Structures are given as C-alpha cells and as structure tokens.
Structure 1
Amino acid sequence: MSEESETSAGRSRGFARPGYSFDVKLWKVTKTGRKSRPYRLRWVVAGRVHGGTFTTSALADSRRAELWQAMRRGEAFETESGLPESEVRAAAEVAEASAAEPSLRWFEFCRKYVAGRWRTSAAKTREGMADGLAAVALAMVMREDGAPENGCLRLAFRWGIVPANAGQEPPAELKSAYDCLTVADRPVTDLLDPEVFEDVMYRLGYRLDGKPAARETYKRRRRVLNTALEHAVITGELPENPLQKARNKQVGSSAVVDRRVLLNASQGRQLLTAVSYVGSWERSRGRRLVAFYAVLYYAGLRPAEAVGLRLSDCRLPETGWGTLTLRETRPVSGKQWTDSRERHDRRGLKAREASTDRPVPIPPVLVTILQEHLKRFGTAKEGRVFGNERGGVVGSSTYWRVWEEARGYALPPDRVESPLAGRPYDLRHACITRWLNAGVPIAEVARRVGNSPEVIHRRYHGCIDGHEEAANAKIAKALEEEGDTA
C-alpha cells in the first residue's frame, strides 16, 4: 500500500489473548471514486485488511480518530472483525440485551417514527411518509389463509399511522385489516432477511395491480424508507441500514416531459373556450375556471399556486404586461394529513423559504382574461382570485372533471383518447416549452416557473424545436470560415 499509515506495534504491554492482536496499522482516509459513499478508511490487524466507506470526510476522519485512540490506549484488536476490544465487548452487550427483549414490530415502529416527525412536516410530506411506509407494510405482514387484501391493508395502515387516531377504534370496514397489521406484522429486524427485503423492494416499485409504479413514486417511497431505516439504526432497532446495500433499481417512466402532451396555440385557445361550455350557465362551473387554466397556460403556474393566488398578488394594468407575485400554495393533501383538518394545506412556494415570493410577468392576453374573470365573479374568500360557487377553495377533483369534459368538447375523438393535454398540469408544460422555443434563456424560464435550471434542462430538453438546425448552421459557418483561412 502506498498510503501513509500509523502502527501500534511495539506499544503493547504483554501478549494478546487468542483471536486478538496488537499488530495494527491504520491508513489515512482515501477516496473511493463513488458518489454514494466516496470516502474509505482501511486498517490492518495481524495482516488482515479491514475497512469501511463513509458519506462524508468528517465521518471517515471521526472513525479514524476513534481507532487511533484505541491504539494509543494499548487496546488489542480482534483479528476477525478488526474492531478494538472495547467495541467488541460493547457490541456483545447490545446483542445480549437485544436477545433478552423482543424486537419492536414494524407497525409500532412506524407509529412512533411518524409521530416524532408529524409536527415539523408538511401535509404532503406526512402523506408521502404514510404511502411509502404502507407499501413496505405489505411485505412486513405474515400472510395466512383469509388475510385481508392488500388494498384494505394499505388503507388500514394509512388510517392507523395518523397520531390523532392512536387509541381509537378503526372504522368497521378496516377493522380486520387493522387487526392483521397489529398482530401479524413482522419484527423490524426481519428487514435483514434477504427474502423479506426483496419483497420490500418489490413493493416500493410496483402498484397494487402489479404494474410498475411511476419513477417519481418509486424514488419518493425509497427516500421515505431510507430515512425510516436510518432512524431505526440510530435508535438501535437495526445494526445497519439494509437499503444501503440495495441497488437503486430504475422502474416506471422517466422524468422527461412527453412531447405528445403538449398543446399548440390553436389547441390551447380551443380548450380554454371549451371550458366555458362545461356545466349549466346558472352555476358557471366551467366559466369560473377559464382564467384558472389560463394562468397555467400563459404564466406556467402550478395548479396549487393558482388555487392560492390572491387579488393582492396581481398587478393588472389597463395596457401592457402585468405581474403575478406568488407567495402561497394550497396543495391538496386530505383532512387526515393537515393540522387545520381541511383538504388543502397552506404552504409557501415549492423549494423556497416560507417568506420568499416569486414575481411572474404575464402577457396582455392573460391580463385581459383575469380582468374579465374578476369583473364577472369577483374574489373568493380570503381575497383569492379563484373559488367555487360558495367562495371556497377550488378542489382538485373539480378542476380535473371540468378539464376532462372540456377535452371532449374541443378535441376530435382520436385526440381525446391520446395523451394530448390529458392533465391540467400539461398546460404548465406547454407554457414552459413555448418559452424555451421562443429563445428565453433556461435560467429565466427556471426563475419564472420556480424550478432550477438543471430541472428545466433535464425535463424539457426533448421538447425544444429548432435547436439542432441552429447548431448545424453555426457549425457550417465555422467550417466555412476555416476554409477561407486555409
């Protein structure tokens, strides 16, 4: 080895007992070249090499310091594990204590873990934790004949994981599944069983119907499980995180926007017009949402941002461009996940500090649409620009249903069955793509829509037209200039 090392040979006070040695060489921290755990520490005990990898250099240096202190104290090291004698004794005591006490079971562990994170988590984060841990729970239940279906087990887990439901009787339709979760669930230590953990990984990446889950769903569930397992290691329920050894399997669709969902200008206008024909004239169900879809299509807002938009956030001049200053989102999470017990949580902007805002310039066509909307319908409760007939928050189910009906009015049958503008969110995709194709710099597009430039480039690089031709023209010009100087 070429690395510098320090040795404890010669510092011993006598002979080491069998299986231990004072002949220890400790090497300096090196880099592994990997992204996940880029730092390596190695040491040699009686000619046998031992080591470990770490996520940060500080952790590696800290571990090296611990081993060096053991060497300075004159401790013998176990040749099999490479650990100082004091650490071997401590591990044996922990193992003895664990054997005396039954391992915590999965459902109870999840309850304690979620309860500890509940107060500091947003409603969407709480729902994401419940979804990821519920997926794992399907692999952590020992099945017998007549066991509840996976769908019921999942619903029972999501109900039981809410701290407010602790000690309450579950709904009648979930009682059988809830009893199964609390009686037939496996100990947390069963996650170290390769067969059990293989089933866990399957549940992360697949839906209840056996089809692959979306790639983002898989990644979110894996993050949830990883954080929970790290907590289990910290609390002593697991000696190590088994997920660190599992390969990051890619499932589901990629995160790149599908070009087939994108609208052209004519289709966008037709769909906004079709929205106004949805519902009866008296209830104005569709007409109330024309401007809602317009801010997605012309300003690139997320639906949750449009739901939370207030009149005080809008600068709508008589002529020229206006501005929407975004400060709040109202994502839909469900009553069981929010502190207010309302379906819509109240949050700051995505991926930003709670006190920051995001000004978005809007073109004259959108200024006019918003002025007409406010003139006809006024504002909803709390000064919000958009509301339902009662002035309440526009629900996601409402704007999804209206959009589905509008597609049926505006598009021919073959297009209705296609992915074209299949979701309201696709209006945001169309807006971002339009700006990129118009030549707006990626950094400015990212600022307006609240993403990073890296995300914009990764998700929309396949949706930008004309760049290949422009690049070819520049290369051809450079070749011509080289020919002139030759």
Structure 2
Amino acid sequence: MKGISYDVRIHGIEKRKNAAGVVTSYRLSWKVSGTTWKEKFSTAAQADAFRSELMTAARRGEPFSPATGQPVSWQREDEKPVLTWYAFTLQYVEAKWPYASPNHRRGIAEALTDATEALLTDTDGYSREAIRAALRWSYSSRIRDCGRPPAELSGIIDWLESHTTPMSALAESGKGALLMRGVLARITQTKDGKPAAANTANRKRMVLNNAMEIGVLPLNPLKTVKWTKPRTLTTIDPRVVINIHQARRFLTAVEAHSERGRRMKAFFACMYFAALRPEEVVDLRECHLISLPENDWGQMRLTNAEPRAGSRWTNSGKVRERRELKHRAHGETRSVPIHPELGSLLREHIRQFGTGPGGCIFIGPRGGLMTDRAYLKVFHEARAKAFTEAEANSPLMAVPYALRHAAVSTWLNAGVPAPQVAEWAGHSVAVLHRVYAKCVHGQDKEAMRRIWDATRS
C-alpha cells in the first residue's frame, strides 16, 4: 500500500517559554519516514494526551501517513463524513446498552439528553420538550427494535442527525473547551435552571467522561476544562432515623389505612426489621424464607431484586426487571436474620393473603406486584397519621428508604460488629462506616469521658 510508513519516532514534550521565562505552550515533535512533524498545545495535559495517542498507535503497529504525519486511521475530517454529536451518542449507547442495567441506561440517557441540549446548533422552532422527547426515544429504542419512531417525533429525529455540533469541533483548541463548559453548565442544572443535586451532576459528568474516553477524539475535551466537583452528602442524617416506638406507630397506621395497607404492613416491616431495599422486598418469595419459627429468630436468603427503572429502559418492556442483588455477582445470595416480630408479621401475612405467581409474598389485591405509586401513597398517608405534627414536619422517615437506614442504625447501636452488619445490609464495611458514621449514638460521650480522664490532674 502506497503512502504509508511504519518508520515512526516520537520525541518528548518541549516547554516553550517567552522572554520572561514563563511557559506559554508545550510542543510535541515526532518523525515519520524522516520528516519532522510538530504540534503546539496550551497545556501539558493536552500535549501528553496527544503524545499518548501517537504512542498507542505506533505500538499497535498502525501505519502512519507521510503526508499528514498521523496514523492512517486518523483520516482527515474533510475526507470522511462528518460525525455529529448526536450520531456519536447513538453509537455510544449501542455499545453500552447490552451491558448496562435498566437504571444505568436511564442515567446514561439523562446525561446524553442534557449534553445534547447544550450542543444543538439551532432549534428551528422545535420546542424544548419535543426535542427532549425525541432524544429519550432515540436512546431507549437502542434496547429493542422499536421500528420507526412515533409520527410526532420522526421529523425531529431526522433533524437531529444534522443539527448538533460536529465531534471535530470538540477537539479544536479553545472552541472545544468553550463547548464543554456549556455542557458542564447544563448538567449542573435542572430543566428549570435550578442547581441540580450534587450526586446527579457528578453522575452525569462520569457518563460523559466515559463516552469521551472511547477514542473518537485524539483527546478527551472534558479534561481541558477545570471543573470543581460538587460536594455530595455521603452520610445519613440522624434526623431521618426512627426508633422502635415510632416504627410500631407507623406500622399500626399502615394496617389501619385500608385493605391495601393491611397488605403492606409486613412489606414496610421488612425494610425496618431486616434492612431490605424496596426492590428486594418486591422480589421476596416464600422460598427465600429459610426458617420462620414462632417466638424466635428466623432467616431469609435473598437471591434477586426487582428495581424499578421504567418500561422504556428494560429488555422486557416491563416497569421492573428481575436482576442480581445490588453489589453482588450473578447467582450470589445474601442471608439476613428475621426478627421475631417480623417473623410473626410474615406468618400472618402469608396466612391471610397467600402468595402470588412464583411464590411472591407481596402482591396487590389483583395479584400483581406492589407498585411504587401504591406503596408510596400508603406510606405518606400513614406517616402523617402516625407521627405528631412536629415529627411529620421534620425529615424523620421522609421516604421509605429511611426504614432501611433505621434498621442498620439500630444494629450498629446495639453493638453488632460492623462486618456482620455490612454482610446483612449488603454493602462493604467501608461504606457502612462512611454512610452511617453520624447514626451511631453514645460513642461521643464515651470519647469525652476518656479525654476528661486523660486530662485531669
């Protein structure tokens, strides 16, 4: 093949200084078939990233072009079709979807949708909501063969293919950084322009960074922008944790709520007494109850969970999809003790309501799985009934997940060793200490007593 060379020599990075000795740029030089090529960069990171790309290509044995000094695979942009941001995102989700969980798919789509908003070249009169709807369909349709989009979105999707920023623009010096600043500004805001939660902004930034690292561009444009990572709250607020008396008041209110509430008393009790996640309670089956003796501790062995992601993001098209336990490999299980009080509630629940398909313990009146909408309605109305006005107006157990937090906090304060608590709860000891550090009571007084004893004369 003519016009290629494997004779490549890549040199080090040279600092360029002005008369005052201040570094103004960084220059990389390399040779292809004896011809020297040079590129100038504004930062050392950019120069190092470009050099790494050249080195990787040379080590892989890729041919270089003596006419451009670059790997042949880096064909000139004007010699090949322009790859737009929108087309790039479709390629990215096509690669990621088979290996991503439904909730992760939804998170990726949210990040790409926000970023695409910031990289539109114009809107041509389309409304923001219409464009976002078209993007959501584009990303969710990669999971299954959905055919043509709905008629109301078809024109927008065709339009998107040529009305987002070319990927090559993201690699341009100066322009790329400016575009990335716009993207980062967008993901740190909600649709209403208010500051987004720190966890949300950080998660979306991680998605975009992963997308940029797949090698379409010579360097990751996000790394050319200095971005201060929003601080996230990693510890549980002790004010959300209920005690056993409040828990019993709440469960009584759930039972008194309605027929549906009676079906949910043991459902919520599994979160409080066994620290189960909502998606784990939804999947709880009779075969998971290894032992359920009267007036004694029992045991359950969890095998799966059914997190809610939405029908748009699951392979089956259902709202929930059965998966392995969180932070566990496929086929791995988790044993959890059954408190005698919870055991009594479970026995009564099965006696009164039986089980559903596959032995599911918690089913609705019509035989279907417990839905978020159903149990959230009962949760909030029972909470308002069970708590005093001051309690109801506080952060105390504001969401169902707080029942799990209360269970883990209770185990820790009861003196159960951290490794055992972590095993029952289904996460690592490091996460346990970090997340529940503020929920362990009594240690501060003991610490102050020791300091007092050490400093008394």
TM-score range, shorter chain: 0.7 to 0.9
Q: Equivalent of 2:444, from 461, 468, 473?
A: 468
**1:260 alignment counterpart:** 239
* 1:342 shift after superposition: 1.1
User: What are structure 1's unaligned runs of at least 5 residues?
Assistant: 1-21, 27-41, 71-84
Cα distance in 2 between the residues matched to 1:64 and 1:87: 18
Structure 1 position 251 matched with structure 2 position 217: no
The one-letter amino acid of 2:327's match is A
Structure 1 position 430 matched with structure 2 position 409: no
Cα distance in 2 between the residues matched to 1:44 and 1:109: 30
Question: Secondary structure of 2:336's partner?
Answer: strand
Cα distance in 2 between the residues matched to 1:239 and 1:446: 43
Deviations 1:360-381 (A, max 9, x none): 1121111111111111111111
Inter-CA distance 370–248: structure 2 relative to 1 (3 Å threshold): farther
Cα distance in 2 between the residues matched to 1:179 and 1:422: 44
* 1:183 shift after superposition: 3.9
Cα distance in 2 between the residues matched to 1:23 and 1:363: 67
RMSD, matched Cα: 3.5
Cα distance in 2 between the residues matched to 1:23 and 1:108: 33
Deviations 1:190-246 (A, max 9, x none): 334222211110122221112222222222212211111112x2xxx3111112334
**Higher mean C-alpha displacement, 427-436 vs 286-295:** 427-436
**2:166 alignment counterpart:** 187
**Higher mean C-alpha displacement, 445-454 vs 405-414:** 405-414
**1:131 alignment counterpart:** 110
Question: Secondary structure of 1:138's partner?
Answer: helix
Structure 1 position 345 matched with structure 2 position 328: no
Cα distance in 2 between the residues matched to 1:252 and 1:158: 28
Deviations 1:30-51 (A, max 9, x none): xxxxxxxxxxxx99999xx999
**1:455 alignment counterpart:** 431
**Higher mean C-alpha displacement, 444-453 vs 97-106:** 97-106
Cα distance in 1 between the residues matched to 2:340 and 2:219: 58
Contact 2:282 2:305 in 1 (8 A): yes
Structure 1 position 408 matched with structure 2 position 387: no
**2:360 alignment counterpart:** 384
**TM-score (norm. length: structure 1):** 0.76
Give the fraction of aligned pairs with identical amino acids, expressed as a percent. 35
Contact 2:277 2:404 in 1 (8 A): yes
The one-letter amino acid of 1:396's match is D
Q: 1:55-454 alignment to 2 at 5 Å? A: 89-91=68-70, 97-144=76-123, 146-149=125-128, 151-161=129-139, 162-163=141-142, 168-172=147-151, 174=153, 177-192=156-171, 193-231=176-214, 233=215, 237-251=216-230, 253-279=232-258, 284-314=259-289, 315-454=291-430
The one-letter amino acid of 1:198's match is R
Cα distance in 2 between the residues matched to 1:470 and 1:263: 23
Contact 2:84 2:162 in 1 (8 A): no
Cα distance in 2 between the residues matched to 1:395 and 1:408: 20
**1:39 alignment counterpart:** none
Cα distance in 1 between the residues matched to 2:10 and 2:162: 51
The one-letter amino acid of 2:264's match is L
* 1:137 shift after superposition: 1.1
**2:5 alignment counterpart:** none
For these two proteins, the number of residue pairs brought into alignment is: 417
* 1:396 shift after superposition: 1.6
The one-letter amino acid of 1:156's match is A
* 1:250 shift after superposition: 3.0
Inter-CA distance 167–316: structure 2 relative to 1 (3 Å threshold): closer
Question: Secondary structure of 1:445's partner?
Answer: helix
* 1:64 shift after superposition: 10
Inter-CA distance 238–130: structure 2 relative to 1 (3 Å threshold): same
Which protein, 1 or 2, shows the higher relative CO under an 8 Å CA cutoff with sep ≥ 6? 2
* 1:478 shift after superposition: 5.0
Question: Secondary structure of 2:268's partner?
Answer: helix
Contact 1:148 1:176 in 2 (8 A): no
Contact 2:301 2:335 in 1 (8 A): yes
Contact 1:296 1:431 in 2 (8 A): yes
Cα distance in 1 between the residues matched to 2:200 and 2:271: 24
* 1:266 shift after superposition: 1.8
Cα distance in 2 between the residues matched to 1:405 and 1:380: 26
Cα distance in 1 between the residues matched to 2:152 and 2:390: 41
**Higher mean C-alpha displacement, 435-444 vs 381-390:** 435-444
* 1:449 shift after superposition: 0.6
Question: Secondary structure of 1:325's partner?
Answer: strand
